[in-house]
Amino acid sequence: MKTWLNDAVVYEIYPQSFYDTNGDGIGDLQGIIAKLDYIQECGFTVIWLNPINESTFFDAGYDVTDFYKVAPRYGTNEDYRELCAEAHRRGMRVIFDLVAGHTSVEHPWFVESAKPTRNDYTNRYIWTDSTFDSPEGISGYGDRDGNYITNFFWCQPALNYGYAHPDPEKPWQLPVTHPDCLATKQELLNIIDFWMDLGTDAFRVDMASSLIKGDTDGSYTRALWHEIRAHIETRDPEVLLIAEWGSPADAIDAGFHCDFLLHSGNEAYTSLFRMEEGRNTFKRLYTGHSYFNRDGQGDIRTYLNRLQYDLQQIDGRGVVGMITGNHDIPRLAYRRTEEELKAALTFLFTMPGTPFVYYGDEIGMDYLEGIPSKEGAFTRTGSRTPMQWDEGKNHGFSESDTPYLPTDGRPEPPTVAAQAADPDSVLNFTKRLIRLHRDTAALHADGAFDVIAAGYPFVYTRAAEGKTLYVAINPSDTAYRLTPPPFKTVLLSQNTVVGDGMHMNGVSFIVAELA
């Protein structure tokens, strides 16, 4: 099924760090509206906002206290409506980050749920039936006798959608058909309707596989999301579901239109850019050599085999998001030169999927080491620093004397203003890639993908509508000589000489249309 994601180029915005219009040191929705022209001029067709709901910000907004309200620091629900309308006026779409599986401990539902007396919210969350007997969950919270199950941090109690196979020994595990679990599901549908009414074009669902507990074969979770998709489709079939699942084959089976390979679950995505100890800040689980590294010791097959499996399973029913990075992992530019970064970006924009660019990656913003944690970001803080617009105060992010996070204080960090003026900048290169991607059907998610060589260099073709593009990427320092089929036009290249055969020097790439 072909959706608008097939040829989309998405821009992920971490709202608190994008652009502050009221001088309080925190980005806001009016700031995003003010920068829509910039985003459109870059060529992005869709924006995804990290959570904007009212929150305790113990986990940067993934700890919601009111699902029906924009966090006051970002503005109002009317600002969100305006943002959607302004995006739509420019032919762009908006993705809302839906935290479907948990809330903040300070959400009024949880406050009620933590009370020892029975009430409407007693079963809105999952509680064991004794604080002392059961080792599960967070214990000793409030006066309720029991422990609550979390989804992520201690402050994020899991909403109760029920258990696939409740353990008869643990009567607190309710079946998914229990009226209180059905009430949780109904509330989720209400939340979806609410944000659709304000103009939302898609939902990025946080931890989408986490809702139903103990779902060993995933069948209950699939049924749940299919039901939600059907609900959305009866209202507006253009509104799409994007999963944070980390397994596109599973997520698309569950009814999502898109999912990503991520840093968690397996090493496929990490193996591309973030395997080295220094670049692998959050998951020391996977260590070794990135494919995109000058030492040429990585293995593209770690990623490729997984991607090809996913593409085969998906079989055109959805798309894989090709992320430059996100708010959870070190930035793509971290410990990379501009040439290395351009090679990585060329790969991401020519692979069979939908590019998702994390704000600031289009100018090569760096991961900042050693920044004290803010809002539950911990080591992720260095990837969440304010957008660098220009040379001014706080790099144009905010007029405040005390921005909630510092900008890159080193001399001459990349900024939009400086890069706009330099034809060879990462920004102008990214813009060229976005144009090429948008204008070339062969590069859209559903364009044919054939691998010619899965080593250094990585060589593949993309084809659609009678046009075939040849792509060769060599992230290593080693030079290679290849004999590709005849080219009609070279569309992009770096450190590559086409003549008698093709000479790829270190850190090189070429994208060419075949004759």
Binding region for ligand NOJ (CB under 6 A): 59, 62, 99, 152, 206-207, 244, 327-328
* Virtual torsion, Cα 49, 55, 60, 61, nearest 10 deg: -30
Q: Compute the least distance from the CB of residue 102 to ligand NOJ, in Å.
A: 7
- Our CB check for ligand NOJ shows the closer of 320 and 472 to be 320
Tokens 């980005």 correspond to what residue? 27
Q: For residue 502, what are the β-bridge partners?
A: 482, 498
- Our CB check for ligand NOJ shows the closer of 101 and 403 to be 101
Distance in angstroms (rounded) separating the CA atoms of residues 285 and 163 = 29
Q: Compute the least distance from the CB of residue 312 to ligand NOJ, in Å.
A: 27
Q: How many residues does the chain have?
A: 515
Distance in angstroms (rounded) separating the CA atoms of residues 480 and 452 = 15
- Our CB check for ligand NOJ shows the closer of 261 and 482 to be 261
Q: Compute the least distance from the CB of residue 443 to ligand NOJ, in Å.
A: 27
- Our CB check for ligand NOJ shows the closer of 62 and 303 to be 62
Helix (H/G/I), strand (E/B), else coil: 80: helix
Q: Compute the least distance from the CB of residue 377 to ligand NOJ, in Å.
A: 8
The number of C-alpha atoms within 13 Å of 256 and in the hemisphere containing its C-beta is: 27
- Our CB check for ligand NOJ shows the closer of 99 and 502 to be 99
Beta strand 93-98 pairing with 46-49: parallel
3-state secondary structure 86-149: HHHHCCCEEEEEECCCECCCCCHHHHHHCCCCCCCCCCCECECCCCCCCCCCECCCCCCCCCEC
- Our CB check for ligand NOJ shows the closer of 222 and 327 to be 327
Q: Compute the least distance from the CB of residue 153 to ligand NOJ, in Å.
A: 7
Distance in angstroms (rounded) separating the CA atoms of residues 378 and 62 = 14
Helix (H/G/I), strand (E/B), else coil: 271: helix
Q: Compute the least distance from the CB of residue 352 to ligand NOJ, in Å.
A: 24
| DSSP one-letter code for 170 | -
Whose CB is nearest to ligand NOJ?
62
Q: Compute the least distance from the CB of residue 263 to ligand NOJ, in Å.
A: 10
- Our CB check for ligand NOJ shows the closer of 46 and 99 to be 99
